[in-house]
Structure 1
Amino acid sequence: MIVRKIDPIVSSFKRVNGSRLTLRIDKQANVVISAPLKMAISDINNFIDEKRDWIEKTRQKIIENQAPKRLFNDGDTIPFLGIERRINILPNYKYAAEFLDGKFNLSSNIQPQAKEYLSRLFKNLAWNHFAPRIHYLAKQYNFKFKAVKISSAQTKWGSCSNHGNINLAWRLVMAPEDVIDYVIIHELAHTVEANHSHKFWKIVENIIPDYKQKRQWLKDNGKYLDL
């Protein structure tokens, strides 16, 4: 049973007799919560927030283990900031993976671990783009948040905790910059309105009038934003 007031990262939630709150991740990478009958939703969400890094890392590991290993070839492309970037496979390159002059350079020695090295590189690229951008937009539109983290989430692009911690999926850095800004504003708006109320969407619309187009772009193209 899905309870809407519970953090949306949770796939299944139920109340049980007893005093113990349990969290597990099943074989399909779903987050399953069992909580005592009288435990407050806020306490459950706080517990989830404390475990968020572990949850996302564990889910990512399950998903990656289920997926076949991709081999990257010279001349393949990967999207970054909305532009398809060429992959160069270089013999004995000094780095396992590097983004340089608008291209991804990969050492020929890292197959079939190329995906893991590229994931690490993309997390760094995401941080380098997201961190200054979210601080700029928060200052520009008078939002206050506590911290920003890069996540490996597969099912959503961003999240905002009850404490104002914002998580952004590294895969989002593959999207066009205006789409990235939409997701950032979306999460910043949650620091004011926790749910997706009419007031929430008005906050988003006042900053990004065409936010519906950005949201639709993600629905149509999000499946392609991955390694």
Structure 2
Amino acid sequence: MSHATGGFTLTVPQRTPAADIRRFLDQHLWWIEERRAERPVQPNVAPGTLLPVAGEELTLLRGRGRSARRVGDALEVPGEGAVFARRTLVWLREEARARMVARLDHHSARLGRPHRGLTLRDPRSRWGSCTAEGAIMLSWRLILAPAEVMDYVVAHEVAHLAEMNHSPAYWRVVEGLFPGYERPRDWLRANGASLHAWRF
């Protein structure tokens, strides 16, 4: 099941009779319905919505001007409908970049290994990556998680500047950068799908 779309993909050998495929689907319909029921509800991005940002909840309010701005525990966003959602996303990505660059620079300096910049994307299968050249990619959706979760993923990718693998030596580097990394890693495993439920 795709957490992004809620759709299912069935892969079958070539020349499988259509009747066999239909029979298989009929026999497993209960499983499909259970997975659909488990899918996080798609939150609405509109005035009044509580938006999670780095462990806080900001109330989305209609604002003025051309861009969103934080005012206390609220995010004031101008526009309606798709414009409101798009401007909320622009603000989230800018906030994510600012926070991630700060933590990236921090962990990289502690490790004594320079990185080659940050790219923000919206991948479905991973939260980040690090190339052999030191270029780091992170999912902007991590801004929707608690701050320590985002910080853990940044540290996880920075650790690859020293160890381009997931060996015991690599995890020792992660532990040195982010002691107690297991808790935010477990949070992400349990709740990561909820970050992809937000549509902008």
Normalized against structure 1, the TM-score is what?
A: 0.62
2 CA distance for matches of 1:161 and 1:102? 37
Q: Evaluate the alpha carbon distance shift between residue 179 and residue 130 of structure 1 in structure 2; reply closer, same or farther with a 3 A threshold.
A: same
**Is residue 2:146 matched to residue 1:173?**
no
Q: Which residue of 1 aligns with 2:155?
A: 185
Shift in Å, 1:158 = 1.0
Please give the residue correspondences for 1:214-225 in structure 2 after superposition, counting only pairs within 5 Å: 214-225=184-195
Deviations 1:132-179 (A, max 9, x none): 221122112323211122222232211101211001111111222222
Q: Which residue of 2 aligns with 1:155?
A: 125
Shift in Å, 1:185 = 1.0
1 CA distance for matches of 2:104 and 2:44? 34
**Is residue 2:61 matched to residue 1:88?**
yes
**8 Å contact from structure 2 (residues 120, 139) kept in 1:** yes
Shift in Å, 1:105 = 1.1
Deviations 1:192-213 (A, max 9, x none): 1111111111111233231111
Q: Which residue of 1 aligns with 2:172?
A: 202
Q: Which residue of 2 aligns with 1:105?
A: 76
Give the percent of matched residue pairs that are identical in Structure 1 and Structure 2: 27
Q: Which residue of 1 aligns with 2:17?
A: none
Structure with the larger RCO, 1 or 2 (CA within 8 Å, 6+ apart): 2
Q: Which residue of 2 aligns with 1:65?
A: none
Please give the residue correspondences for 1:8-87 in structure 2 after superposition, counting only pairs within 5 Å: 71-87=44-60
Higher radius of gyration, 1 or 2: 2
2 CA distance for matches of 1:164 and 1:75? 41
**8 Å contact from structure 2 (residues 57, 73) kept in 1:** no
Shift in Å, 1:96 = 4.5
More helix, by proportion: 2
**8 Å contact from structure 1 (residues 98, 106) kept in 2:** yes
Mind listing any 5+ residue stretches in structure 2 that lack a counterpart? 1-6, 8-41
RMSD, matched Cα: 2.1
Q: Which residue of 2 aligns with 1:126?
A: 96
Aligned length: 157
